[in-house]
Amino acid sequence: MKKNLLFSALFSALALVAVALAWIVAYFAAGNEYLVPSLWETLAETGRLFTEAAFWRAFGFTLLRTALAFLVSFALGTGLAALASLHPAARAFFAPVVSVLRTVPTMAVVLILVLWTDRTVAPALVALLVLFPAVYAAALAAIDEVNAAYGELPRAFGVKAGRRLFRMYLPLVAPALSAQAGAIFSMGLKITVSGEVLAQTFRSLGYLMQQSQMYLQIPRLFALTLLCVLLGFLLEGGCLLLNRYFARWRR
């Protein structure tokens, strides 16, 4: 087990080294700091960002918007999936709504929401609208799987709703959902930042990125992108820990 972990860590580190090497090769091949900045300059800029209060404020607000979108989409997605699993009519009602939300262009939604709401709220709302169908589909699939395998059991024995929920559905559905939560959270971050760029949301990572691009501060733009990727990794790691906690809790 320990050997396997060491093996995986080694290959993950190798992948990072490969990306860094590709960056260095691209830097020398482009020969233009405005197209591809040097890795060192980008890393130095990343360090500088950590010392700026404006960056931390932007980081905090972006994270807050992403977390809110994630939490609300999770609550809404799982709640409505539970309802859909109980009533065929609800399932039929939500199906086209979810399809529309899944296919509608994100950028169009941002533009409309900027008109309808506040620039600070629009990115979170867009993330919510994009994440909701993903959460709904994942939750419904997980509930359907539990119903197909074990649904007959509580029905036949007349098990009370509370016991069904806490002893059967939650322990069986939560691991399947928390396994996908990391990917959904990172997607939420990506959508929030895109929304912030388009909506020009003040005090946001997207806004800082747009400013950097406008003033040709390319190392800063790359540094902000790098930090978004790191944040995505952290969020996925956090959800992985949550998944392990669920695995222990359901015992």
At 117, which amino acid appears?
T
DSSP letter for each residue of 67-116: HHHHHHHHHHHHHHHHHHHH-HHHHHHHHHHHHHHHHS-HHHHHHHHHHH
Contact present, 133 and 102 (Cβ < 8 Å):
yes
Of 201, 216, 211, 147, the closest CA to residue 176 belongs to 147
159 binds another protein, rule: CB under 8 A? yes
Of the listed pieces 17-25, 30-38, 49-57, 156-164, which binds another protein according to CB under 8 A? 156-164
Using rule CB under 8 A, residue 1 touches another protein:
no
User: Among residues 24, 83, 168, 176, which is the contact residue for another protein, using CB under 8 A?
Assistant: 168
Main-chain dihedrals φ then ψ at residue 158, nearest 5 degrees: 60, 40
Task: Decide: is 150 part of the binding site for another protein (CB under 8 A).
Answer: yes
Q: Does 107 bind another protein (CB under 8 A)?
A: no
- Residue 157 touches another protein, criterion: CB under 8 A: yes
Q: How many CB atoms within 10 Å of residue 1? A: 5
Cα separations in angstroms, 210 against 194, 202, 218: 10, 11, 11
x/- contact string, 211-250, with another protein (CB under 8 A)? ---------------------------------------x
Question: Which of 154, 188, 219, 232 is in the footprint of another protein by CB under 8 A?
Answer: 154
Quote the CA–CA distance of 67 and 48 in Å, as a whole number.
Answer: 26
**Span interacting with another protein, options 66-74, 99-107, 167-175, 226-234, rule CB under 8 A:** 167-175
199/208 Cα distance (integer angstroms): 12
The distance of closest approach from Cβ of residue 39 to another protein in the complex, given in angstroms and rounded to an integer, is 47
CB of 89 to another protein, least distance (A): 18
Q: How far is the CB of 245 from another protein (least distance, A)?
A: 14
Name the residues that contact another protein, by CB under 8 A. 150, 152-159, 163, 167-168, 171-172, 250-251
